[in-house]
Amino acid sequence: MAVGGILIFIGRGRKALNPKPLGKGASIGLRSSIVVGMLLFYLFFVPNLIKFAGSFFNYVTQKGGPAPTPIAIPVPLLFKFTDLVPYAIISIAIAVVAHELMHAIVALREGISVKSWGVGLYFLIPIAFVELDEEEFNNAPPRSKQNVIAAGIFANALVSLIALAVALSIINLVPQVFGEPVRVVTIQEVDCESICNTSVCPAVVSGLEVNTIIESVNNTKIRSLDQLVEVLSNATLGSNLVLNICDYNGACKEVFISLTVPRGNTSRPCIGIGFSESMGFEKNPTLYVVPWFASMMLFMDMLVSINLGLFMLNSIPLYLTDGSLFLKHIQTKYQVIHRVFSSRMIDAINIVILVIAITLSSYLLLAG
């Protein structure tokens, strides 16, 4: 047992009886993955965080614009979205198992024994662990240590690339069967009580139903949640909307909605529906949804997102991440790196960046 969870020791370990150290090319590939992860974090995630923070500020100060999409969702808050929970748990399990398994495989190749390994749950989150022989690791050549440290990061990058390649291959093949893939917004919930705090709301009066597609609002085509939120943000209390609603088989009808119910004590109208964005198809020129395909693509999207997130997060200097351990083991060779990272200032900056991203995202999720 462990505080907050349980660990199951599946194996007693394995001796590195026949080591076959990685070649120079493979070693460079593993170590380069850490550099790529760092570059993605600082050149992709951080600029997007700055843009997200600006949109968040405009949203909370009511300067206009829709609520921005959260950029960093803490794992516990994923359980708020019950439809995502199974995909998230399976994706996290795959990510951590691949990460730790690659550590073990490379360690054995480099002549470092595995003392124990297993799986577990930590606050309901699936985890995997590999315990290496610490003495053998400390006595291993520098390149071997670096290979072992970088192996887990490389595994998450590899899983992300494989999942992305599979998803893109499927998307390229399906137009011949289903039609052109498009993003669609579907109605997943009709609930006057919890959304509008009233027993009767426009959604019920107009006869809106769950598992239907919002094709357009006031003749404006809707292909994303952001588009829908932007259109609805311009609607005023007392105005009317014309929605073109399609069922999953492509049968469509127009629905007229009178916005007569306010959202709480505000002057903004409340419809009484919950939305979701998913994969759909457009063919001649009907919109429709294939539920199993949407579920599969949602899983692939989750698998890419979680592995890519772990790839970047584990690459950066953050006290106990693989990126920090990697830099620790190359500092003695490169004095410039030693001067930059020995103060751990970069680690502190990275923590501030992540805290800002998680705090703002959590606010949007809990407030929305």
Q: How many CB atoms lie within 10 A of CB 72?
A: 20
For residue 65, what pLDDT band results from cuts at 50, 70 and 90?
low
For the chain, state the CA radius of gyration: 25
Question: Could you give the count of Cα atoms lying within 13 Å of 222 in the half-sphere of its Cβ?
Answer: 28
Count: domains in the chain: 2
Query: Rounded CA gap, 111 and 22, in Å?
Result: 11
- At 180 the three-state DSSP class reads strand
Mean pLDDT taken over the chain: 84
272 and 345 belong to one structural domain = no
Q: What pLDDT does residue 334 have?
A: 63
Q: What pLDDT does residue 217 have?
A: 93
Residue 292 domain-assigned (yes or no): no
17 and 125 belong to one structural domain = yes
For residue 64, what pLDDT band results from cuts at 50, 70 and 90?
low
Residue-by-residue DSSP string for 154-223: HHHHHHHHHHHHHHHHHHHHGGGTT-EEEEEEEEEEE-HHHHHSSS--HHHHTT--SSEEEEEETTEE--
- At 262 the three-state DSSP class reads strand
Q: What is the dihedral of CA 152, 155, 159, 162, to 10 degrees?
A: 160
Calculate what percentage of the chain has a pLDDT beyond 90: 35
What value does the mean pLDDT take over residues 240-254? Answer: 91
Strands (E), the chain: 5-11, 114-122, 125-132, 180-190, 212-217, 220-221, 240-247, 252-258, 273-283, 286-288
DSSP bridge pairs for 219: none
pLDDT at 240 over 80: yes
pLDDT at 319 over 60: yes
Give the C-alpha distances (Å, rounded to integers) separating 357 from 36, 200, 288, 308, 360: 21, 37, 35, 16, 6
CA 282 vs. chain centroid, Å, equals: 26
Amino acid at 11: G
Q: What pLDDT does residue 11 have?
A: 58
168 and 309 belong to one structural domain = yes
For residue 3, what pLDDT band results from cuts at 50, 70 and 90?
very low
Q: Residue 306 is inside which H or E element, if any? A: helix 291-315
pLDDT in tens, 302-312: 999 999 998 99
168 and 153 belong to one structural domain = yes
For residue 1, what pLDDT band results from cuts at 50, 70 and 90?
very low
The candidate with the shortest Cα–Cα distance to 328, out of 132, 127, 34, is 34
CA 248 vs. chain centroid, Å, equals: 26
328 and 221 belong to one structural domain = no
Q: What pLDDT does residue 39 have?
A: 94
User: Which of 287, 322, 351 is where one domain is finished?
Assistant: 287
| Residue 68 DSSP code | P
152 and 85 belong to one structural domain = yes
Residue 66 domain-assigned (yes or no): yes
240 and 270 belong to one structural domain = yes
User: Range of 114's domain?
Assistant: 5-173+297-367
Cα three-residue angle 259-261-265, rounded to 5 degrees = 130
Residue 110 domain-assigned (yes or no): yes
Is residue 278 within 8 A of residue 186, CB to CB? The reply is yes
Residue 132 domain-assigned (yes or no): yes
45 and 123 belong to one structural domain = yes
What value does the mean pLDDT take over residues 245-253? Answer: 90
283 and 324 belong to one structural domain = no
Which of 366 and 81 is assigned the larger pLDDT? 366
pLDDT in tens, 10-52: 556 778 778 888 899 999 999 999 999 999 999 999 999 999 9
Q: What pLDDT does residue 249 have?
A: 86
User: Which of 241, 261, 287 is where one domain is finished?
Assistant: 287
Q: How many CB atoms lie within 10 A of CB 243?
A: 20
Max mean pLDDT among 112-116, 179-183, 213-217 falls in: 213-217
167 and 226 belong to one structural domain = no
Residue bearing tokens 């998680």: 358
Residue 192 domain-assigned (yes or no): yes
Which of 288 and 109 is assigned the larger pLDDT? 109
- At 294 the three-state DSSP class reads helix
Residues 6+ apart with CB under 8 A from 18: none
64 and 169 belong to one structural domain = yes
134 and 115 belong to one structural domain = yes
Tokens of 259: 């916005």
